[in-house]
Every structure is written in C-alpha cells, then in structure tokens.
Amino acid sequence: MKVDVLLGLQWGDEGKGKIVDVLTPDYDIIARFQGGPNAGHTLEFNDFKQVLHTIPSGIFRENKMNIIGNGVVIDPIVFKKEIDNLKEKGFDISENLYISKKAHLILPTHRLLDAASEEAKGKSKIGSTLKGIGPTYRDKTGREGLRIGDILSGFQEKYNERIQKHKIILEKLYGFDYEELFNSCEKDWFDGIELIKKFKLVDSEQLLNNSLKEGKSVIAEGAQGTLLDIDFGSYPFVTSSNTICAGACTGLGIAPQKIGKVFGIFKAYCTRVGSGPFPTELLDKTGEELRKAGNEYGSTTGRPRRCGWLDLVALKYAIMIDGVTEMIMMKADVLDEFDTIKICTGYEINGEVTEEFPYELNDSVKPVYVELPGWKTDLTGITCQNEFPEEFNNYINFIEEETGVPISIASVGPKRAQTIFLNQD
C-alpha cells in the first residue's frame, strides 16, 4: 500500500480540513505531517462546525486511526483546549488519536520568543501566527528541542534547562518583559502535558510502515501551503517547516517510493495571511468583494486574509515541487457573482514575460492576466458535474490545460455535501 498526500498549493487555508474529512472514508489512517497550532483546518457537516489546529481532520469519522506525526510541533495548551472543546461537544477521541514520541513540544517560552522576535522586527515582521512555531523548529534543528517522548522520563530537568536559556534570550537579546506572561500560562502548559500522557504515545513511523505492510491505506494531511514552505516559499515570509510533499516523508518516516497520489488543493482565487509578496493581490474593491464572498478571515488568528486572483505561475511551481497527480479546486462558489474572472498566466519582470517562478517576488514582478467570462450562477446547490454552467467548465478546463494536471474535485461550499467529484464515469 502507498500513502496518498493531501497538501495546499498556495499560501494556506485552501480548504485542506474539509477535503481530508470528505476523503477519510476511503482511508484507514489519517496522519498530520508538519506544522502545529499555526494551522486552522475547518470542517463542516450537518449543523456542526469545527476548527482543528493539532488534531488530524479524519477524527470525526468512526474507527479511523488519526496520527500526529513526528514532523508536527505540539503546544500542550492548545492541544488540551482542542480536546476539552471536543469533549464538551460530545466527542471523545482518545481511542483514535495517536501521537508520535518524536513530535516536538512548543514550550511556553517559544510562544514568547515568537512574540519578542516579531516585535523586534517591526515593519519587516513575518506576521506569524504567534504560536511559537519558528522558535520551536529552530530549537529542533538546533538540536535543543524537547520531544513528546521526553515527557516519559527526566522531563522536569530538561524542561528547566531550556526555559532558563530562553529566559536569558528574552531578557538580554530582546529586553522582553516575560515574567507575567510566562507565569500566567505555565500551569496550563503542564496540565496539557498531563493530558498528553493519557494518549497513545507511539513510534509512529513504525506504526505507519507496519500498517502499510498489513494493507492499510493512509492519507497524509499537510498544513499551511507550498508557498509557505521553508525552502521553496517566499522566504523569509514563510513558516518554519517543509510543507511540500517531501515533508510527508520526513514528517512521518515514509520512504519516497511509498508515496502514491498527491492531491494538490487550491482555491479558485488566492489568499494570504501575514506579510510577504503576493503578486496578484487586489487592494481594491474587487479584493474586498472576494474577502466578503469567501469570508476570508483567518481560522486561527481571525486576521483578514489578503485576496487576489488565481496565480498560475505560482500554482505550476507548487505542482512541480510537490509532484501533484490530481488537483482539488476549492471555493469556486466565491466567484459566482463576478462578470469576469482574471487568471495570472505570467509575470512581467523588467519588460520581459516569464512563466517561471522567480528567486524573489519583488515589486518589479507584474502579473499578466487573461480574463475569462464569469458564470453568474449560484453553484452552492449543485450536486453533479452535469449541472455546471458552461463558463465554469471553461474555467476548469483552462486551468487543467495550463497546468497539465486533472482537477478531480470542485468544492462549491464549506459543507461535506458541497463537494463535486469530477469525471466519475
């Protein structure tokens, strides 16, 4: 058996949570491979809506094994909140959730270091989610991190040592007033650790590879998006993990030849939260219309998302890096009202047009657009491909022809049912 991977092709928030939940019935195991509580994955079914930050999006389907992989970073405070919140709503997920012993812990001071670093950067800040992601991955690669497996022995000593060092950095490097903030959250953090201890803490790479041998099917759930990847995103305005398909190998302990399908998810337009370049961004009325129609506000931070037209240069780059085998187009319904819809097919840089994603996306990059007719039809109630308006079919065909990758699902609303499988003869 192989591992199918589902990941974002843009700057995150493409709708990964919704589609993992939709596809989960086809799989035995759902495994998150990177990121942490910077993610906000929204699921909607019946009259129920939930945003998940650390827990994989397969958790609401019965009898599915959900794994938080070694590539993920876990904040015990956020984790406990998620679990408590689900319990309040009647979901006890303790039987189905497995956590890798090799996943790293976000310490209370990592969050403060994130805040201090952003504050110190001033205007050039990353616009991070302030969840401590950067400092935690920095300690991981700096070989100073604490892992879930460390909880099981000699933990307090290792913890104290790290915290001490972080406090010195906060004080001496940043002059950051941490005392009150730190004291107010340390107890909650340890309550979270106690809760984590009650879960199945496993060598998830063994569990996954053994399961594959037994013929079990696995879907790997990405967080963020390819353009936020630490290596290939718009550095330094990126997150601190490998969000690309290769991240599923390192984040779960899966060999490359075990990767099967690669589902690349994209919105029918583009959004971005936080700072950094965004060539097709619309700072005008049209951008506001997209934000309003798409309800584009961060699932984790509530920040308004920046909005713009679909960017095929960036999309093709993501497809190349990820080896996408099929695409999933999200939020098509958000474009229902537009008379015409633009798609960026090239970048003009110093008078020359290129279709190649450049080293740096600076101000000299100008998008070149084609304009397609809008469908001016409410897609949200559509139940099969035969009902698609002609202009919508054209929009899909245009993207498929430009990228050379088939679109297998079009999503026309946030609910499970608003998902149309294409070309299902």
Give the residue, chosen from 250, 299, 385, 394, that forms a contact with Mg ion under the rule CB under 5 A.
Answer: 299
- Residue window 360-399: x/- pattern of binding to ligand IMO, with contact defined by CB under 6 A: ----------------------------------------
Give the residue, chosen from 3, 7, 11, 16, that forms a contact with ligand GDP under the rule CB under 6 A.
Answer: 16
Write down the least CB distance from residue 399 to ligand IMO, Å. 20
Binding status of residue 132 toward ligand GDP by CB under 6 A: no
Residue nearest to ligand IMO (CB): 274
Residue from 338, 403, 340, 399 nearest 371 by CA: 340
The residue range among 36-44, 75-83, 259-267, 388-396 that interacts with ligand IMO, by the rule CB under 6 A, is 36-44
Catalytic residue among 4, 13, 139, 322: 13
Binding status of residue 69 toward ligand IMO by CB under 6 A: no
Catalytic residue among 4, 21, 41, 166: 41
Write down the least CB distance from residue 339 to ligand IMO, Å. 29
The smaller minimum CB distance to ligand IMO, of residues 69 and 134, is found at 134
The smaller minimum CB distance to ligand IMO, of residues 295 and 397, is found at 295
Residues 263-282 that bind ligand IMO (CB under 6 A): 273-274
Q: Which does 127 bind (CB under 5 to 8 A by kind): Mg ion, ligand GDP, ligand IMO, none?
A: ligand IMO
Q: 3-state SS string over the chain?
A: CCEEEEEECCCCCCCHHHHHHHHHHHCCEEEECCECCCCCEEEEECCEEEEECCCCCCCCCCCCEEEECCCEEECHHHHHHHHHHHHHCCCCCCCCEEEECCCEECCHHHHHHHHHHHHHHHHHCCCCCCCCHHHHHHHHHCCCCCEHHHHHCCHHHHHHHHHHHHHHHHHHHCCCCCHHHHHHHHHHHHHHHHHHHCCEEECHHHHHHHHHHCCCCEEEECCCCHHHCCCCCCCCCCCCCCCCHHHHHHHHCCCHHHEEEEEEEEECCEEECCCCCCCCECCCHHHHHHHHHHCCECCCCCCECEEECEEHHHHHHHHHHHCCCEEEEECHHHHCCCCEEEEEEEEEECCEEECCCCCCCCCCEEEEEEEEECCCCCCCCCCCHHHCCHHHHHHHHHHHHHHCCCEEEEECCCCCCCEEECCCC
Catalytic residue list contains 13: yes
Binding status of residue 38 toward ligand IMO by CB under 6 A: yes
Binding status of residue 40 toward Mg ion by CB under 5 A: yes
Binding status of residue 251 toward Mg ion by CB under 5 A: no
**Size, binding site for ligand GDP by CB under 6 A:** 23
Write down the least CB distance from residue 402 to ligand GDP, Å. 21
Residues 208-227 that bind ligand IMO (CB under 6 A): 223-225
Q: Which does 296 bind (CB under 5 to 8 A by kind): ligand GDP, ligand IMO, Mg ion, none?
A: none
The smaller minimum CB distance to ligand GDP, of residues 89 and 198, is found at 89
Binding status of residue 419 toward ligand IMO by CB under 6 A: no
- Residue window 117-136: x/- pattern of binding to ligand IMO, with contact defined by CB under 6 A: ---------xxxx-x-xx--
The sign of the dihedral angle between the CA atoms of 298, 304, 310, 311 is negative
Catalytic residue list contains 41: yes
Residue from 422, 20, 9, 69 nearest 219 by CA: 20
- Which stretches of the chain bind ligand GDP, using CB under 6 A? 8, 12-18, 39-42, 44, 294, 299, 330-331, 333-334, 411-414
Active site residues: 13, 41
- Which stretches of the chain bind ligand IMO, using CB under 6 A? 8, 11-13, 35, 38-41, 126-129, 131, 133-134, 223-225, 228, 239-240, 273-274, 299
